[in-house]
Amino acid sequence: MTIKVKAAAALIAALAMFSAAGNAEAQSGYPDHAVRVLVGYPPGGPVDILARVVSDRLSAIWGQPAVVENITGASGNIAADRAAKSAPDGYTLLVSTNAQLVVNPSLYKMPFNPATDLTPISLAVYSPNILVVPNEVPAKTVKELVEYLRANPGKSFASAGVGTTQHLAGELFKAITHVDIQHVPYRGAAPVITDLLGGRITMFFGAISPLIPLVREGKLRALAVTSATRFPAVPDLPTVIEAGYPGFVSILSIGLMAPAGTRPAIIEKLHQDMVKALAPADVRKRLSNIGMEVIGGSPAEFAASIAAERPQWAKVIQDAGIKVSN
């Protein structure tokens, strides 16, 4: 065995021992007191609900409290900034959306860099929007909607605000189908639904849970789901891709992040515990009822998802000329 090979073997052995020691330390000593779980959105919303469901489970697994703190403002940037600048010791975590990680950097002057100042732990869930139209719109499929919009340029699509997933889904739809539709931002989804029911808006990409009951009652018509494949909560609803428009995927994904520099052993323990927290059937059912599908992906899978989405939405934002004020 050459010197170089011996040195390499020794290094590998040392790294293995260090990794094993780190894992043992994480398993036996972490956490030994309360963990803060930051959420950048208000109580009662989907991100907050997920955070509280997961935190309850993690508290039971750890025997230590996981305490949710809602720090709202700046489209989640304030909470994310606070997490990014916290000590990398595993005691401050962030429940983050892909909007905070891949959309906001193209819209805001960020006080931190999501790509370097936060470390992925686990992509917990994803949730698509569904495309709905009021009954006054004659389209029953996505292709019929596109034909209708081309015959009636200047129609409107709504969102719950500039830069939201609904807004970006509409801009992506506009770019892929080459239709002339105008964005109308609202302050939240509730007034959007009111105007949809009144026929004052042509189309809306909205969250599943508040819209499906209205679809089932015949008050709105659902045409498609925005995920890459059919979504378990609405299995009969085709995707926009199936409708003939390749490349159309627009989902809300939510995961757990830690400050950059957090030890790999702690990141791995947190990932494993997240998988345990999301595994029970009652947890999956509760999340499914609000339009979420459990993933429980690894840190590497979460990082790859972020890296893939960032240039896609940066291009949509740039091409559409979307601007927001900080």
Domain boundaries, the chain: 3-127+252-320, 128-225
Is pLDDT of 245 > 70?
yes
Average pLDDT score over the chain: 91
pLDDT at 324: 85
* Structural contact between residues 112 and 284, judged by C-beta atoms closer than 8 angstroms: no
The CATH number of the structural domain formed by 128-225 is 3.40.190.10
pLDDT mean over 272-282? 97
pLDDT band at 28 (very low <50, low <70, confident <90, very high): low
Instruction: Assess whether the region 3-127+252-320 and the region 128-225 belong to the same CATH fold.
Output: yes
Residue type, position 11, single letter: L
User: What is the pTM assigned to this prediction?
Assistant: 0.87
pLDDT of residue 148: 98
Q: Which CATH number is associated with domain 3-127+252-320?
A: 3.40.190.150
Residue 318: which H helix or E strand, with range?
helix 299-320
Written as one letter, the residue type at 312 is Q
Q: What is the b/e burial string over 166-200, where b = at least 16 CB atoms within 10 angstroms of the residue's CB?
A: bbbbbbbbbeebebebebbebeebeebbebbeeee
Give yes or no for residue 14 having a pLDDT over 50: no
Which residue reads 């065995």 in tokens?
1
Burial of 274 (0-12, 13-18, 19+ CB in 10 A): buried
Q: Please write down the HEC assignment for all residues of 135-167.
A: CCCCCCCHHHHHHHHHHCCCEEEEECCCCCHHH
pLDDT digits (tens, 9 = 90+) for 147-197: 999 999 999 999 999 999 999 999 999 999 999 999 999 998 999 999 999
